[in-house]
Amino acid sequence: MRLTFLTVLVAVCATVSAQTYEFNPKWEKGTEKVLTMVQVEREYENDELISDTTVYNKAIVMVIEESKSDYTLEIIYENQALRAVLNFYSKIGEELQEYKDLKLLFSLDKESAETELLNWEETQDFMNGSFDQITGVLEEKNPEMAPYAGMIFMPIKEIFKSKENVEGYILNSIGYLLVPFQHEFRLNEAISSTESQENPFNPMQEISATTIVTLKSVDQVSGDCVIDREVKLDLSQFIEMIKGMMRSMAKSFGVDEESTDEKAEEFKNFEMDIINIQTIHYNSKSTWVQKAVSTVIVTGTDPKNGTRTKKEVVSTTTIK
């Protein structure tokens, strides 16, 4: 009898430890969620704080349609082109109210959590129109700074050149809402996947990225879950490319071979690393993420003077 009891106990423990958790969105048409974002950015040189900036942002996610297979979401996101030129003319948002918010329509597959941007052409037209209007206002209100608008808009324009870039840009900002639906979890078991993605420092280059997702805790009563997500980037090729570029630049400026070799020796000390982690607080009863905290730390060493640099960005988003 005792042996039978122990056998049953072991079997139950094994079942619990191997229990799988699969989450699916169970949302209602008309649901609206407000995403409040606080981003704290700090920069250090040799461990000394040299800048400390806090940025506030908001987005709205609405479930506007539901079918048997998917949801249609409307995402209202602040037009980052307007934000980028606020220092040049603080009232630009008031004068261009029609371009204040970017409205995006996404479909979300209930089973796979795959998304698709549905209003790609309208989105591109909207952003191109906003670039033109913002430039026009700056030429009138602050003509000295208007020529710099093109440089400021350059990275944003790159994003809105293709449907895939826009999808990646938005999902990079609010993709944590979908993470619980993208995996079948076992408690404290890491799920790892590796793929190529755009280099954050050089959009023309792809780098290897390994994503590790782990369900850290589940409260069976409240439904509260904690999911950790880490992205590891392989920057080795990028670093070698930078070293090669500096050597080529030295040669192009007519620097002699000995000096070029000295520069190459300097860049042997060039280092860079990125830590990219995220903690997602999800509720399995409401099937909505309630909070997400992302931390990105970029560290490096200046090859010329050996200065150690660190940039730390902590983004906290609450969803209500």
Task: Dump pLDDT digits (tens) for 35-56.
Answer: 999 999 999 999 999 999 999 9
How many other β-carbons are positioned within 10 Å of the β-carbon of residue 99? 20
- Per-residue pLDDT of 201-254, as tens digits, reads 555 556 678 999 999 999 999 999 999 999 988 767 666 666 666 666 555 555
Locate 95 and state its tokens: 């004068």
Q: How confident is the model at residue 10 (pLDDT cuts 50, 70, 90)?
A: very low
Q: How confident is the model at residue 255 (pLDDT cuts 50, 70, 90)?
A: low
Amino acid code (one letter) for 296: V
Burial letters 71-94, b for 16+ CB under 10 A, else e? bbbbbbbebbbbeebeebbeebbe
Would you say 41 and 35 are in contact if contact means Cβ atoms under 8 Å apart?
Answer: no
**Residue 9's pLDDT is what?**
37
- Per-residue pLDDT of 176-202, as tens digits, reads 999 999 999 999 999 998 876 665 555
- Per-residue pLDDT of 144-185, as tens digits, reads 888 888 788 888 888 888 898 888 888 888 899 999 999 999
Would you say 296 and 313 are in contact if contact means Cβ atoms under 8 Å apart?
Answer: yes
Instruction: Give the residue ranges of DSSP H helices in the chain.
Output: 2-17, 80-84, 92-95, 120-141, 149-159, 163-174, 236-252, 257-266
Q: Which string of DSSP letters, residue by residue, matches 7-56? A: HHHHHHHHHHHT-EEE------TT-EEEEEEEEEEEEEETTEEEEEEEEE
Give the residues across from 90 on adjacent strands: none
Query: Domain-by-domain residue ranges, the chain?
Result: 40-48+183-320, 67-182
Calculate the dihedral angle through the C-alpha atoms of 168, 173, 174, 179, rounding to the nearest 10 degrees: 70
- Per-residue pLDDT of 271-314, as tens digits, reads 778 899 999 999 999 999 999 999 999 998 876 777 889 999 99
**Residue 257's pLDDT is what?**
58
Question: Half-sphere exposure of residue 217, counting CA atoms within 13 Å on the CB side?
Answer: 8
> What's the rounded Cα separation, in Å, for the pair 240 and 30?
51
Residue the block writes with tokens 């010329």: 304
**Residue 282's pLDDT is what?**
98
Q: What is the pTM of this model?
A: 0.80
CA 309 to chain centre: 22
